[in-house]
């Protein structure tokens, strides 16, 4: 006669994974609430990540670069004029330096 098979273990309502979630879920919600409250208090109703002024900054930077490029061009023209004037006076130093630079 075959022996009776052992009966399966009865299921308990609180398995270990359920008991972990019972105390872990409130902790997670408490931490999320703390982060939300901290963020709210830090912002104090202002937009912390505002990039509305970015296009204005870009335009100002572009204008500053254009102004500096114009200034460089002006200074280079002045240097060229002064060099030509010194060479026209017969200053051989400028001619020698110009020749050695080429």
Rounded Cα–Cα distance for residues 86 and 95 (Å): 9
Q: How confident is the model at residue 93 (pLDDT cuts 50, 70, 90)?
A: confident
More confident residue, 62 or 99: 62
Rounded Cα–Cα distance for residues 51 and 60 (Å): 15
| Minimum mean pLDDT range among 8-12, 16-20, 38-42, 66-70 | 8-12
Tokens, residue 58: 């870009």
Alpha-carbon Rg for the chain, nearest whole angstrom, is 40
More confident residue, 65 or 95: 65
More confident residue, 3 or 72: 72
Contact in structure between 95 and 83 (CB atoms under 8 Å): no
Mean pLDDT of the chain: 82
Q: Say if residue 79's pLDDT is above 60.
A: yes
* 44: DSSP letter: T
């Amino acid at each position: 006669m075959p022996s009776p098979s052992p009966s399966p273990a009865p299921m308990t309502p609180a398995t270990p994974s359920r008991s972990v979630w019972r105390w872990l879920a409130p902790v997670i919600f408490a931490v999320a609430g703390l982060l939300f409250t901290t963020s709210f208090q830090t912002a104090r109703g202002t937009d912390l990540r505002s990039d509305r002024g970015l296009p204005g900054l870009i335009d100002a930077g572009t204008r500053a670069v254009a102004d500096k490029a114009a200034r460089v061009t002006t200074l280079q023209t002045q240097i060229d004029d002064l060099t030509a004037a010194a060479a026209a006076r017969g200053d051989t130093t400028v001619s020698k330096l110009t020749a050695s630079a080429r």
